[in-house]
Amino acid sequence: MINFTVGPVQSSDAVRAIGAEQVPYFRTAEFSELMLENERLIKKFAYATEDSKVVFMTCSGSGGMETAIMNCLNKNDKALVINGGSFGQRFVELLTLHEIPFTEIKLEHGKALTLEHLAPYEGKGYTAFLMQKHETSTGVHYDIEMVSDFCKRNNLFLIVDTISTFLCDPFDMTATNTGIMITGSQKALACAPGIAVMILAPSALKRVGENKCCCQYLDLKLALKNMERGQTPWTPAVGILRQINVRLKEIETMGGADAEIARCANLAKYFRDKLIEHNLPFEIVSESLSNAVTPLHPTTQSAYEIFLKIKDEYGMWICPNGGEMKDTIFRVGHIGCLTESDYDQLINAFIDLRQKKFI
């Protein structure tokens, strides 16, 4: 199978080799050193300030989203949240569950975020802003510079879910004054699922220190204290943390975050150019694309039927959508260990389906 989904994605041979090894004991100086190296490289790739801290939580990306909310916000906050798809909706549900006062900015699927969306909330006493940098469900990449300026003007604490855009699109944690960023091991980090990576700027560390977190397992005070010596309070997903180490060093050797972003951008462009070249019956449905994924509306067949056909008859996974987008949108990812020739195979499958009048 070739995997063109947005996670889990294909891993490099070196990362996969780690998965075949015995899981080592981890309360050792060697593992601590590996964790501190992971912290250093993650901070470097996200352009975080020297005094920022990284934690590796054993949970998926959604666990990282909930951790951020539980540790950094409370009932005295007044949050703004962008809801443009399934992941924005998840933030809305989490804020509701944890009883954080908030206002939702709801976007039509596929639409970019504009200054008009933010304008009504200038100078209205908001304290925090939550967004996906890239809403993976609809493939819309938001203008974080615009949000960042809004947050600086209004003194808002910015929480950014970069889960599907970190290492795919440029992100500068310092320039954007992001308080906390979240990513996951199975997106562009291209490792097994199971680790949420979070970077906390000093503004987030201050909030964590002043907040009470009503969940021991996800308490960032404990995670941060342990991470001072490269450890975790509980047994982490040791094997995945070792994979992350191999992967981060791989990226470093290949030229760092910018080179990895360029690689992803090239694959996205290659695929999008081929779609046009072959005049395939799919429309790109996002006003603002990320390099991570191309969201497509097939004009002649159900998106889900195309997903099934490609999976069962051509041995490839494209990424189906859920809910109301199930029949109208599928997505093709550009993250993980993929090559141009993988895209040639996918394009050939689409051409074959058109010849057979399936699409």
Ligand X SMILES: *Cc1c(COP(=O)(O)O)cnc(C)c1O
Q: Which residues are annotated as a binding site?
A: 331
**Torsion of Cα atoms, 229 then 235 then 239 then 242, to 10°:** -10
Cis amide bond preceding 298, omega within 30:
no
**C-beta separation of 304 from 326 below 8 A:** yes
Number of residues counted as binding ligand X (CB under 6 A): 12
Binds ligand X by CB under 6 A, chosen from 7, 179, 236, 320: 7
State yes or no: residue 237 binds ligand X (CB under 6 A): no
State yes or no: residue 294 binds ligand X (CB under 6 A): no
Query: Quick one: 184 or 239, whose CB is closer to ligand X?
Result: 184
State yes or no: residue 132 binds ligand X (CB under 6 A): yes
Query: Quick one: 201 or 335, whose CB is closer to ligand X?
Result: 335
**C-beta separation of 190 from 12 below 8 A:** yes
Provide the token pair at 164.
Answer: 């599907």
Interface map 136-165 toward ligand X (x if CB under 6 A):
x------------------------x-xx-
Query: Quick one: 102 or 166, whose CB is closer to ligand X?
Result: 166
- Measured from the CB of residue 126, what is the shortest distance to ligand X in angstroms? 22
Q: Is 104 helix (H, G, I), strand (E, B) or coil?
A: strand
Which residues inside 51-90 make contact with ligand X, applying CB under 6 A? 60-62, 87
- Measured from the CB of residue 54, what is the shortest distance to ligand X in angstroms? 17
Beta bridge partners of residue 52, listed in sequence order: none
- Measured from the CB of residue 136, what is the shortest distance to ligand X in angstroms? 3
Closest by CA to 15, choosing from 264, 254, 197, 190, is 190
Q: Is 114 helix (H, G, I), strand (E, B) or coil?
A: coil
**C-beta separation of 343 from 196 below 8 A:** no
Point out which residues bind ligand X (CB under 6 A).
Answer: 7, 60-62, 87, 132, 136, 161, 163-164, 184, 193
